[in-house]
């Protein structure tokens, strides 16, 4: 019994140390990173939502790692009146269903419903939603990774000191990715989320 108590005590201490360290978060953008979306195109119903090829595999790869998988997305379609809050939550529920059915998971998701004009604190490149998720999930943000297709995503990751991975899908397809011309740190530019997940496996040496 004494040994058992000691083991329990020890695992409690390990847990506390882990907590102190904080988890690594992998923050993922939605439109143009997870699903196909052209510039100025709003996904307003589930049938419009198409996963970029390899995305479900990417989530399955990430799900095996000791990281928290978090989604942060700008959804101004809500305040433009193109979709309701319930509509967007339905899309996210279906998206999660597909991801989980294919061996992945989502640990947290937050979206900004505002338009750029509203000048809120949560629309990327602002960092509020990242900070909220980091707090809720005990994330060590400086050890975390940020993935997106837009320079706005990279700006947020840069401002928080995260490792930035830009994907060449969505806006990333069109953007001139001459990294030296930006003051934003982009650590990797890869073809898609699947390639990003493979970089993360290597980066974490797992």
C-beta nearest to Mg ion: residue: 32
Residue 123 binding: pick among Zn ion, Mg ion, none (C-beta 5-8 Å cut-off by kind)? Zn ion
Residues 6+ apart with CB under 8 A from 125: 152, 153, 155, 156, 159
**Min separation Cβ 84 and Mg ion, Å:** 21
The span of 23-31, 38-46, 111-119, 170-178 binding Zn ion (CB under 5 A) equals 111-119
DSSP sequence for the chain: -HHHHHHHHHHHHHHHHHHHH-BEEEEE--BTTTB---TT----SGGG--BPTTHHHHHHHHHTSSEEEEEEEE-TTTTTTSS-HHHHHHHHHHHHHHHHHTT---SEEEEE---GGG--SSSTTS-HHHHHHHHHTTB-GGG-EEEESSHHHHHHHHHTTPEEEEESSTHHHHS---GGG-SS---EEESSHHHHHHHHHHHTT-
**Subset of residues 53 to 92 that bind Zn ion, contact rule: CB under 5 A:** none
Q: By CB under 5 A, is residue 32 in contact with Mg ion?
A: yes
**Min separation Cβ 116 and Zn ion, Å:** 9
Q: Which residue is catalytic, options 23, 31, 153, 192?
A: 31
Structure token pair of residue 204: 């974490």
Q: By CB under 5 A, is residue 123 in contact with Zn ion?
A: yes
Annotated active-site residue 23? The verdict is no
- Considering only residues 82, 90, 120, 138, which one is a binding residue for Zn ion as defined by CB under 5 A? 120
**Min separation Cβ 102 and Mg ion, Å:** 21
Residue 32 binding: pick among Zn ion, Mg ion, none (C-beta 5-8 Å cut-off by kind)? Mg ion
Q: By CB under 5 A, is residue 124 in contact with Zn ion?
A: no
Q: By CB under 5 A, is residue 192 in contact with Mg ion?
A: no
Instruction: Check: CB of residue 199 under 8 Å from CB of residue 192.
Output: no
The span of 101-109, 125-133, 148-156, 181-189 binding Mg ion (CB under 5 A) equals 148-156
Residue ranges that bind Zn ion, judged by CB under 5 A = 112, 114, 120, 122-123
Residue ranges that bind Mg ion, judged by CB under 5 A = 29, 31-32, 149-150
Q: Which residues are catalytic?
A: 29, 31
């Amino acid at each position: 019994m004494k040994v058992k108590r000691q083991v329990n005590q020890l695992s409690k201490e390990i847990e506390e140390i882990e907590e102190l360290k904080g988890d690594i978060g992998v923050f993922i953008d939605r439109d143009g990173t997870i699903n196909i979306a052209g510039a100025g195109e709003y996904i307003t119903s589930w049938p419009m939502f198409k996963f970029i090829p390899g995305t479900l595999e990417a989530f399955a790869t990430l799900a095996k790692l000791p990281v928290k998988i978090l989604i942060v997305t700008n959804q101004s379609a809500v305040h433009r009146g193109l979709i309701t809050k319930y509509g967007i939550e339905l899309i996210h529920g279906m998206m999660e269903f597909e991801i989980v059915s294919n061996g992945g998971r989502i640990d947290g998701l937050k979206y900004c419903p505002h338009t750029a004009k509203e000048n809120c604190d949560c629309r990327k490149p602002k960092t509020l939603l990242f900070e909220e998720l980091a707090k809720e999930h005990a994330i060590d943000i400086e050890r975390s990774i940020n993935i997106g297709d837009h320079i706005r995503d990279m700006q947020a990751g840069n401002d928080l000191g995260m490792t930035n991975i830009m994907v060449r899908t969505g806006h990333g397809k069109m953007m001139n990715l001459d990294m030296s011309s930006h003051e934003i740190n982009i650590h990797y530019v890869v073809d898609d989320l699947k390639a990003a997940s493979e970089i993360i496996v290597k980066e974490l040496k797992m």
